[in-house]
Amino acid sequence: MTFEDLGLSRKVLDAVQACGYSEPTPIQEKAIPEVLARRDLIGIAQTGTGKTASFVLPMLTALESGRARARMPRTLILEPTRELAAQVEDNFERYGANHKLTVALLIGGVSFDDQFRKLDRGADVLIATPGRLLDHFERGKLLLSAVDILVIDEADRMLDMGFIPDIERICKLLPFTRQTLFFSATMPGEIRKLTERFLSNPVQVEAAPPSTTAANVAQQIVKSRREPFEKRAALRSLIKQAENLTNAIIFCNRKRDVAVLQRSMERHGFNVGALHGDMDQRARMQTLDDFRGNRITFLVASDVAARGLDIPAVSHIFNFDVPTHAEDYVHRIGRTGRAGRSGTAVTIATDLDKKYVTAIEKLIGKSIEPISVDADEERSRAARGRGKAAKGGDEARTNAKSEPASSKSRGRRSRRKEPQTNDRGDSKPVVGLGDHVPQFLLRSVRIKEPAD
Ligand code: AMP
């Protein structure tokens, strides 16, 4: 099947051609005709399957008739994170190159004023995170009564992030007659319930059965000792022995480990950036931009920060930690092998991770290929580095030792306890041997200088 067969407008087809896409991906093939037929839709697809274009392309076709009015957007796309929202905006720019549409991005961390101005001019497409959208609505700057198409993207992520009550509120503010497109990588019970409440007679399309990993990604697992420095040595060795590595995302389970690993890799001379939830919006965007533009080769990231990011050509994924939620494994390795390219995902596991690895293998329905890595070289290189640092410290300590003892310490060393005198008859308590101290113990002695 070609894009021409899907019912998209000429302008959209020209933009798709300019992007160099030769044929629609399976989710695009299934979803686009349904969206153009104004059906409500549940799309079960993870990022990397081309799902963004599966709603953006038919939306662009639909938006060719009609005009936006001030403060009354015609379409609304909800995204769980600012990065995903910005990525969808990029998609509108790319696929909408032949359209004159106004796209407004309502995300946190950006000034309200610019966003007000865009809304006032009239937005055809509003891309928002739920919290910021409700903020604008409550300030009276936004009317949702003209929204004709609603997209809820990455619904399972919305659930993880606690956005479901916001989504429910937003759905109630929209016209009943709207078309709703709902995308999620997985379909847990709460998500299914949400679709039952807010979608009308939806058609369900699936890119691949939920929780499967792409066939073009080689998945490997390597054993390491538990200590973080051992894992770091294993990671460096894996990177050095990797074939065809152009860039990589390295996942940690905790954001504080992201910072530690980034610093360590920097010290070892890697070109590395970090992405975690505590960074402000500008810093995150900058890091992502640098990574996309190949100014950064390695990106150390946490799950929340990296979920759903569209980075077209990542050759390798390293799981520095085994994810404790098996589904995160699927999301992580979905960052490579995108749009048909091949990729490699290597997981570093310790003996503490056995049950998580078992859960992952059960979820993906296959076992991960064990490989070995020779981390000796990296371990001893790091030990030499530590040795040097320690030697520097020892020298400092040695110097401190050779300093002449202060008069105070000398005084302390030469001071000896006065012998007890015979106070028999008075009320003083007898200490030690009292009167019975043998004479030889009372003789003065020379004390050897102590070592410190
Ligand atoms: P997504 O799943 O929407 O995050 O898209 C993943 C990547 O696939 C993006 O970089 C898109 O530019 C790319 N892509 C989308 N549709 C196609 C297609 N039909 N052919 C080739 N690449 C595509």
Domain coordinates in residue numbering, the chain = 3-206, 217-377
Condensed to tens digits (0 to 9), the pLDDT of residues 185-205 reads 888 888 999 999 999 999 999
Q: What percent of the chain has pLDDT over 70?
A: 80
Which residue is closest in CA terms to ligand 1's atom 19?
Answer: 24
Give the Å distances, CA to CA, from 108 to 82, 124, 161, 167, 288. Answer: 7, 20, 15, 16, 17
Nearest atom of ligand 1 to the alpha carbon of 49: 2
Q: Residue 257: what residue type? A: D
pLDDT score at 440:
63
Give the Å distances, CA to CA, from 437 to 136, 431, 440. Answer: 90, 10, 8
Q: What percent of the chain has pLDDT over 90?
A: 53
Residue 52 CA to ligand 1 center (angstroms) comes to 7
**DSSP 8-state symbol, 386:** H
pLDDT of 415 strictly over 60: no
pLDDT score at 283:
81
73 lines ligand 1 (CB under 6 A): no
pLDDT of 224 strictly over 70: yes
Look up tokens 């008739």; give the residue: 65
Condensed to tens digits (0 to 9), the pLDDT of residues 233-283 reads 999 999 999 988 999 999 999 888 999 999 999 999 999 999 886 777 678
pLDDT classification of 422: cutoffs 50, 70, 90: very low
pLDDT score at 21:
85
Here the tokens at position 431 are: 């200490």
pLDDT classification of 14: cutoffs 50, 70, 90: very high
Give the Å distances, CA to CA, from 322 to 22, 151, 325. Answer: 37, 32, 9
Give the Å distances, CA to CA, from 81 to 68, 128, 198, 205, 227. Answer: 25, 9, 22, 24, 33
pLDDT score at 326:
85
Report the first-to-last Cα separation within the chain, whole angstroms.
82
Lowest mean pLDDT among 217-231, 239-253, 406-420, 433-447: 406-420
pLDDT score at 434:
57
* Cβ atoms < 10 Å from Cβ of 285: 15
Nearest atom of ligand 1 to the alpha carbon of 22: 20
Residue 28 CA to ligand 1 center (angstroms) comes to 10
pLDDT score at 400:
35
Task: State the pTM of this model.
Answer: 0.60
Condensed to tens digits (0 to 9), the pLDDT of residues 113-155 reads 888 888 888 899 999 999 999 999 999 889 999 999 999 999 9
339 lines ligand 1 (CB under 6 A): yes
Region 56-73: mean pLDDT is: 91
Condensed to tens digits (0 to 9), the pLDDT of residues 315-339 reads 999 999 999 888 789 888 887 876 6
pLDDT score at 432:
62
* Cβ atoms < 10 Å from Cβ of 319: 26
pLDDT of 12 strictly over 60: yes
Please state, in angstroms and rounded to a whole number, the distance separating the CA atoms of residues 334 and 186: 13
Alpha helix positions (H), 37-81: 51-63
Please state, in angstroms and rounded to a whole number, the distance separating the CA atoms of residues 211 and 372: 27
> Which residue among 52, 157, 336 is best mutated to probe the pocket of ligand 1, counting the most ligand atoms within 8 A of its Cβ?
52
Residue 50 CA to ligand 1 center (angstroms) comes to 4
pLDDT score at 196:
95
pLDDT of 341 strictly over 90: no
Which residue is closest in CA terms to ligand 1's atom 16?
Answer: 50
**DSSP 8-state symbol, 210:** T
Q: Which residues contact 173 (CB under 8 A, 6 or more apart)?
A: 137, 144
Residue 44 CA to ligand 1 center (angstroms) comes to 16
CATH architecture of the domain with residue range 217-377: 3-Layer(aba) Sandwich (3.40)
Please state, in angstroms and rounded to a whole number, the distance separating the CA atoms of residues 94 and 180: 23
Name the CATH superfamily housing domain 3-206.
P-loop containing nucleotide triphosphate hydrolases (3.40.50.300)
Higher pLDDT: 312 or 67? It is: 67
Average pLDDT, the chain: 83
94 lines ligand 1 (CB under 6 A): no
Residue 266 CA to ligand 1 center (angstroms) comes to 32
47 lines ligand 1 (CB under 6 A): yes
